Structure 1
């Protein structure tokens, strides 16, 4: 009799699966989070960043730090798994990312933004997300190497910033992993 393949994985199996995906991941990811003030958004962004292997987050503007107690509730301790610094100005954060070898791409609705699925997301990539109300500042958009947006077909004008971050990070990793063999057991 064979084991049911649809059973939930045990913690040891999950660790083994994640380790295999890590071995198949070469690209570096980073984030600039500009003026995101909602602590639950910050906590979600840090948790998602840790899950996708983001190596550094630069907090810009008046972004809430992950040490905020409400952010901690959502982050569940994952902020200790991702290096972060800030607050920095938007231009300082972009400069730091570029000096560290990252291409900086903002996730924002602008006239020249490429749809996320067509955007250049290869190599060492630093994605930028902006405040819940106003998005990325003009100074940050000017300093970025490129801009992309997440296409939508519904009647809502935008995503929550934490959700948009998760979608963009997932797309960057999906692109890297596409064409590679899935980990054993998939």
Structure 2
């Protein structure tokens, strides 16, 4: 219609036309260029593999965070019986935590009294705080904080054994990674007259709060040494006149035939699953098995150690009485 092109908005302003005016500005060439390789499935946002990768990463970060939190927590022996036994045994401790509002029985009263007599701080804390610092363990309202264990040197353990006036009896652990097994072995070693325990520096449990609890405080009575190389340490002990026997299902003899029991001796206990490592087994003078009835193939490492150490103690007593 005449005159409409003069109406406001009826025509476009110069330079406002949409799209390309002259040429393509290189857009066509860019459109023909490749966009590079297709990203991996785990890198593509909507892909299920990406979701799985993100979930795995988040889980790993959560586990690492929990491990850091565990390392920052103090070493605590939890539970009324373990705490009372550790205090009676003279376990070095820096603090006794008692949850507020708990029912105090004789064990709690004895623990508080022993801690006070030894100059150990007694701290009343909320139960929620005790739950946190014990990592959710069954603490029954009490926990004992213990400092990091100070390991002896194998030579010091041997000297202690030689100065006892009895034939040295040592226990060495090869690949025992469960601190509960370690604590139980230490308890058996103390009960049957051993003079010390030797642990390898690698692939072995250490004296933690769990080991303290299982040992019922006997780790404070028996020296525990850390060996940089267990095989080399066993060879050094052999050069000092000690015989080395290893507990092994495919053995030379049974514990009923253990004639070496009355002399200077090292009893080596392997892990329940793997047993003795090859180098350690080759270093042993004899391997010993435990005669068993039924279809049981093996015993727990700490149980096996207790059986053999009991036999060693029996033979030593018999020899003493026969003189």
**Bin of the TM-score, shorter chain as denominator length:** 0.7 to 0.9
> 1:91 — aligned with what?
231
Query: In structure 1, what is the Cα distance between the partners aligned to 2:191 and 2:181?
Result: 15
Report deviation, 1:179.
5.3
Match of 2:264 in 1: 124
Equivalent residue number for residue 13 of structure 1: none
Given the alignment, which residue of 245, 250, 253 partners 1:114? 253
Which one has a larger percent helix, Structure 1 or Structure 2?
Answer: 2
Q: Does 1:102 align with 2:242?
A: yes
Deviation at residue 119 of structure 1 after TM alignment: 2.5
CA deviations over 1:81-128 (Å, ceiling 9, x no partner): 222211433312312322443110001122x52011112323011101
Q: SS state of the match for residue 36, structure 1?
A: coil
Q: Gaps (5+ residues) in structure 1?
A: 1-24
RMSD of aligned residue pairs (Cα, Å) = 1.9
- 1:162 aligns with 302
Quick check: which has more Rg, 1 or 2? 2
User: Within the alignment, does 1:62 sit opposite 2:203 as a pair?
Assistant: yes
Give the TM-score normalised by structure 1.
0.77
Q: Match for residue 29 of structure 1?
A: 169
Cα separation, 1, equivalents of 2:236 and 2:214: 27
- Structure 2: segments with no counterpart, 5+ residues: 1-164
The alpha carbon displacement at 1:27 in A equals 2.9
The alpha-carbon deviation at position 131 of structure 1 amounts to 1.1
Runs of 4+ in 1 over 3 A off after TM superposition: 179-182
Whole-angstrom distance in 1 between the partners of 2:220 and 2:237: 20
From 50, 53, 74, the counterpart of 2:193: 53
For 2:170, what is the secondary structure of its paired residue? strand
Structure 2 CA distance for partners of 1:99 and 1:81, relative to 1, 3 Å: farther
Give the structure 1 partner of residue 112 of structure 2.
Answer: none
Mapped to 2, the partners of 1:150 and 1:138 lie a distance apart of 20
Q: TM-score, normalised by structure 2?
A: 0.46
Q: Distance in 2 between matches of 1:130 and 1:34?
A: 5
Aligned residue pairs, count: 156
| Cα distance, 1:38 vs structure 2 | 0.8
Give, in angstroms, the shift of residue 176 of structure 1: 1.2
User: Which structure exhibits the higher relative contact order, with contacts defined as CA atoms closer than 8 Å and separated by 6 or more residues?
Assistant: 1
